[in-house]
Amino acid sequence: MRKYLNTLTLCLSLLIGLMAACTSNFDDINKNEYVFKDTEVEFLLPGVMKSTLDLVGGEMNTYMFLPYAHYAGGQQGVMPEFFYEQVWTDGWWRRWYVQVMKNLDEIERIHNVDNKYANRIAIARIWKNYAYSVMVSTYGMVPFEEALNAPDDIKDGIFNKFDNEELIYETILTDLKAQSDSLTINIDKDVFKNDPIYSGSNDNWIRFANSLRLKIAMRVSDAFPELAATHVNEIMNNDLPMIEDNMQNAVLDFGTIEENWSFIYSNAVNRNNLFLWPKMNHQFMVYLKSFKDPRTSVFADPAKKPFEFVDTLFSQATNAEVAVRYKVPYVGWPLARNYVLPDWDLDPNLNPLQSTERDNFADFNEDYLKQDMAFPIVTAAQVSFLKAEAVVRGWGAGQSAQENYLNGIAHSFAQHGIPSLAFDEYIEQDGVKWGTVSEGDLNFCGIVSSSVTEDPLEKIITQRWIADFNQGHDGWCLQKRTRRMIMSPHLLPSRNLALRYLDFPERVVYGADERNLNTKGYNGMLEVQGGDDMTTPIKISKSKDHLPAWEKYPAKWSWDFVHAYYGENVEDLDKAGVAYEIIK
């Protein structure tokens, strides 16, 4: 990238790779007997994967992707308020090219001439395509074809030109097919021995490549429909092997050695940094409550001080409605806490969240906060939902949209250890069952709900969003490319945006070095993309024209998010073992 990157030496690139690769699975890699007996690819590629994980599943996930996807609330600072801090965006931009792309380029440069590394080069190329797919869907246009130019390659004073999104996606999809086709399963020696994902299974890397191609093609299904249809049909009509069960999921784990800790553990949990520590998002928890979702306790930990309120329930014993005081441990934190727009003229004294404190809101489950947190890249559930979406759009052969949809829910339940009986009950509910609708529940200020229409795409998107929990980048891209679900806007975004509200940003800004050192390339990007702001739409961004003018929306205070949490009857509290008090 930038001028200074063009002068980086191979020594620096190798050093970065070694530092990451000799950490763990990353902990186990430094114990592997092959590390000092094999090739640079065994050093560099695990390090590249760890560097990618630190970005997609670490810092960017915590600061930006989780609140953008409406998975997290309760964080503080300008980034969860949908703006940015230049020092962080500069660092991320630099690391994408120095620690990820530069090292992948070195792997290919060193080993591409030797056929005995063909499989491992193909795996490196697959990972490079994954990394660029994250970049282009995060930033929009990025330097791609000339991203790692040497000084002698610079033309017309442009260090690196920004390539348009369609070219990047087309190249990625074509290359994923090529690498999947080139991988050979039955070669014992050409195996990625220090593989932190699949432990050297070339068969699973083929499945990952095909599944990733489907995922990326569906991501551009509205932006570039012909491109998407070509690849989706080729994958599904030929029944190419994909991730079909949870044993084949592509998952990267952080480590228990300190340098390999997850970012959320290292910077929030270990330091008790409430500034970063995420709470469960309010709208996400409203959906889980409406669906009586058994994954609630898998995704969330109960609030330290559960939300207490007085509800109106029916008593079968007295055959009358009664006022009942009880506590709900799974309430989510809205992006703007209890703030609402003054235009709504709502009485603040009646705000259901008026007297809440931080400990009244549910935390992320401890599994998402631990040192060696597991971060999925592609899962069987995700693949099934992608297939379902493709069939609804008229693409691909095989099972029906409904069958794929149900498979997606089943895979997600199995992934999280939810018993099959709970699955059978879950899929019979209105709004979940294919062809049904549900009224859902309102959020605390009554502007959005968990209702689900007859639209099959809305059902698929809703269930995939839930299943993708903690995969912030995927959840964010799903929302901005479809906008089938009406997400509650941030009602108090950063004043730097000069906006009264924002559903979520469209993109992340580039590092400042692009403006300063690659000025001509940067200005060329501006002419095509139209801007470098958080709100600048990129090609996959769906139009926002259908969204309400929120200041004119008929808001109202609502207790739906907790009302009848355990059921409509007092006796349901008894069945759930919940302590309560009947108010005389």
Separation CA 325–CA 306 (nearest Å): 12
Q: Is pLDDT above 70 for 6?
A: no
pLDDT at 21: 38
Per DSSP, which regions of 82-133 are E strands?
A: none
pLDDT at 153: 53
pLDDT at 53: 98
**Smallest Cα–Cα separation from 235: which of 180, 170, 186, 185?**
180
Band of the pLDDT at 178, cuts 50, 70, 90? very high
User: Do 331 and 352 touch, CB atoms closer than 8 A?
Assistant: no
pLDDT at 553: 94
Separation CA 570–CA 517 (nearest Å): 67
320 strand-pairing partners: 315
Band of the pLDDT at 154, cuts 50, 70, 90? low
User: Do 387 and 397 touch, CB atoms closer than 8 A?
Assistant: no
Q: Is pLDDT above 80 for 281?
A: yes
One DSSP character per residue, 275-295 reads TT--EEBHHHHHHHHHTT-TT
Band of the pLDDT at 263, cuts 50, 70, 90? very high
Q: Is pLDDT above 70 for 32?
A: no
* Parallel, antiparallel or unpaired: strands 250-253 and 374-378: antiparallel
Band of the pLDDT at 159, cuts 50, 70, 90? low
**For residues 146, 151, 153 and 154, what is the CA-based torsion angle, rounded to 10 degrees?**
80
Q: Is pLDDT above 90 for 13?
A: no
**Phi, psi of 348, rounded to the nearest 5 degrees:** -60, -25
Amino acid occupying residue 438: S
Band of the pLDDT at 189, cuts 50, 70, 90? confident
Query: What letter would DSSP give residue 545?
Result: T
- CA 39, 45, 49 angle in degrees (round to 5)? 165
How is the beta sheet containing 307-315 ordered, strand by strand?
307-315, 320-328, 580-583
Q: Which tokens is 68 given?
A: 């953008």
Q: Is pLDDT above 80 for 470?
A: yes
One DSSP character per residue, 186-228 reads S-SSSS-TT-TTTTT-HHHHHHHHHHHHHHHHHHTTTTSHHHH
Query: What letter would DSSP give residue 354?
Result: T
Q: Report which of residues 37 and 558 the model is more confident about.
A: 558
Separation CA 50–CA 286 (nearest Å): 34
Query: What letter would DSSP give residue 182?
Result: H
Q: Is pLDDT above 90 for 50?
A: yes
- Helix axis angle for 118-139 and 102-111, nearest 10°, is 160
**Smallest Cα–Cα separation from 231: which of 464, 380, 393?**
393
Separation CA 8–CA 580 (nearest Å): 65
One DSSP character per residue, 20-32 reads HHTS-TTTTGGG-
Separation CA 15–CA 10 (nearest Å): 8
Ordered alpha helix ranges (H), 468-551: 472-482, 512-517, 519-529
Please write the tens of the pLDDT for every residue from 471-489: 999 999 999 999 999 999 9
Band of the pLDDT at 28, cuts 50, 70, 90? low
Please write the tens of the pLDDT for every residue from 283-299: 999 999 999 999 999 99
Say which residue the tokens 């009358």 belong to: 320
Q: Which tokens is 413 given?
A: 């339940």
- Helix axis angle for 380-392 and 202-219, nearest 10°, is 40
Say which residue the tokens 């959020």 belong to: 443
Give the up-direction half-sphere exposure of residue 340: CA atoms within 13 A in the CB hemisphere.
26
Say which residue the tokens 């409550």 belong to: 289
**Smallest Cα–Cα separation from 198: which of 325, 304, 46?**
46
How is the beta sheet containing 300-301 ordered, strand by strand?
72-73, 279-280, 363-364, 300-301
Give the up-direction half-sphere exposure of residue 491: CA atoms within 13 A in the CB hemisphere.
21
Separation CA 332–CA 363 (nearest Å): 8
